[in-house]
Structure 1
């Protein structure tokens, strides 16, 4: 790959990452309700899932899965059920005081949630399968190029998500001091349900 291809891929990746979608919505929501550090934890988890998708594309597994609709439907179903489970668990949260407890354990949990959400989203896998090969040069080491592109996408995504988390986190204090803070659990629950609907039906 030459520098032109890398710059072109990076520009396209940044634009795609900035488009409104379930992942960035979750990062924003988590940052507003629990602070920017929580948003970054979710972002790291979401982006870590991209490593799995990159590997599946590089080794040809993604192409095989794309030919088995029932497999993709199964992954979507598991993903949607997991999100609905998170919605159920969030519904009873009392407010921001609860959301802010837990320290490192809470960040680890958020990272895990982001990772599982991303891995169980076959739309990301199919996107990678369609997007990454467009920038692969014929005649070169395909797997190495895919991993390189995946690495570039990973880095820019985590940088952008972290910036978004920081600025969304600035609203945390406003939300904390407003009556909305009492309903954080229910708001998060609704967000999880909307993401589940987007994953399975849209």
Structure 2
């Protein structure tokens, strides 16, 4: 992969990642609820899922699965319902007085790293369009005169840098805004907004058709 090709890939994936989706929303929600360090655990769950997907794309399985209508239908149902579940759970959190800003450690609920990692992984893996997108997107930047394995490794490491930087930046920005506002009101509003967005995204996934 030449430097020019890599730069094109990096910029293209950066633009895609800058568009907020379920993963960004989850990172922001967890950061405000549990503290900024939970953002890294959430990002790791997302990146582990993407590692598996990139691996499947690299060996050709991703393109095969992307062509199966039954697989797409099952995954969109599972993914849509899971996002709706997260939305309903966010609304339930509004009623809890334990929600506080990340800098108020004495009131902040303790996070479970395994639970956050698993939650982020499921949000990523349950979106069938992730597999379809990467199966179509990544091969466009492959140089047939060089090792495909090496190029996929380079692309995945680039994805790690992009996703980590963008998602953590979103989390830091929201937490900074929240510190200037009333903690409980801010978190209550964020829980309502994130709940609505999760439910909306879940409905969108359920109603989506295969591209």
Same fold? TM cut 0.5: yes
**Residue 90 (structure 2) pairs with residue 90 (structure 1):** yes
- Whole-Å separation in 1 of the counterparts to 2:146 and 2:188: 56
Could you state the TM-score of these two structures normalised by the residue count of structure 2? 0.81
Q: Structure 1 runs of 4+ off > 6 angstroms?
A: none
- Whole-Å separation in 2 of the counterparts to 1:53 and 1:168: 29
Offset at residue 98 of structure 1 (A)? 4.0
Task: Give unmatched runs, 5+ long, in structure 1.
Answer: none
* Two-structure CA RMSD over aligned residues (Å): 2.4
Q: CA 1:186–1:166 in structure 2 vs 1: closer, same or farther (change >3 Å)?
A: closer
Partner of 2:37: 37
**Residue 198 (structure 2) pairs with residue 192 (structure 1):** yes
Offset at residue 175 of structure 1 (A)? 5.0
- Aligned to 1:92, the other structure's residue is in SS state helix
Q: CA 1:182–1:175 in structure 2 vs 1: closer, same or farther (change >3 Å)?
A: same
- CA deviation digits over 1:109-166, x for unaligned, max 9? 2222111110111111111111110110113332332232122112221122112211
Task: Give unmatched runs, 5+ long, in structure 2.
Answer: 101-107
Say which is worse superposed, 38-47 or 1-10, in terms of deviation: 38-47
- CA deviation digits over 1:56-85, x for unaligned, max 9? 101111111122111111111111122222
Could you state the TM-score of these two structures normalised by the residue count of structure 1? 0.84
- Whole-Å separation in 1 of the counterparts to 2:172 and 2:185: 22
Q: CA 1:176–1:119 in structure 2 vs 1: closer, same or farther (change >3 Å)?
A: farther
Q: Does the aligned pair in 1 maintain the 2:76–2:126 contact within 8 Å? A: yes
- Whole-Å separation in 2 of the counterparts to 1:134 and 1:119: 22
Q: Does the aligned pair in 1 maintain the 2:25–2:194 contact within 8 Å? A: no
Greater fraction of residues in helix? 1
